[in-house]
Amino acid sequence: MEAFLRDECSDLVEKNYCRVFVWPDPEDRSRILGYYSLSACLVARAELNNRFQRRAPKGIPVPMALIGYMGKTEGATQGLGPLLIQDAAKRVARITDIGIWGLCLDAENQKLAEWYEEKIGFTPARAKALFLYGPLQTFLVPSQDGA
């Protein structure tokens, strides 16, 4: 986590590739418990499953917000991941100047992809099992595991 925030973050933000948001420790605001980045993303209609594909206009990619980097410190409390995703969804939902249908992310491995699907509500893309997406409204409510 520290390497991303120290070495890459400022360069990506400066070049307007993403914005990075941190989750501070409520007891020590100088300590970061977790972070995530958001950037614009388009997902091809063909990558959506049938349920979402039927709702999407034909031939138009779906506008998304990409959670590109997400991490937490070792001392972070259990359940911080779902809170970071919910925070990202709330932040994106406040954007009214452009349309954003949902959130997407790349899971690091199959086990994590399955966790995102089962616990958070993401859906795997058709051709890329580790690329997951979902409608914004899915992430605005607390996750099923109580986080």
pLDDT digits (tens, 9 = 90+) for 59-109: 899 999 999 999 888 778 788 999 999 999 999 999 999 999 999 999 999
Give the domain range for residue 28.
Answer: 2-139
The CATH number of the domain where 91 resides is what?
3.40.630.30
Domain contains 19:
yes
pLDDT at 73: 83
By CB atoms closer than 10 A (0-12, 13-18, 19+), residue 57 is exposed
Domain contains 147:
no
pLDDT at 2: 73
Domain contains 50:
yes
Number of domains in the chain: 1
Q: Which of 53, 57, 23 is nearest to 123 (CA)?
A: 53
pLDDT at 6: 83
Domain contains 25:
yes
The predicted-structure confidence for 34-64, as pLDDT tens digits, reads as follows 999 999 999 999 999 888 988 888 889 999 9
Domain contains 123:
yes
The pTM score is 0.89
Domain contains 37:
yes
Taking the C-alpha atoms of residue 27 and residue 4, their distance in angstroms, rounded to an integer, is 23
The predicted-structure confidence for 3-35, as pLDDT tens digits, reads as follows 888 889 999 999 999 999 999 988 888 888 999
Domain contains 92:
yes
Domain contains 146:
no
pLDDT at 147: 44
pLDDT at 146: 45
Residue 142 pLDDT class (50, 70, 90 cuts): low
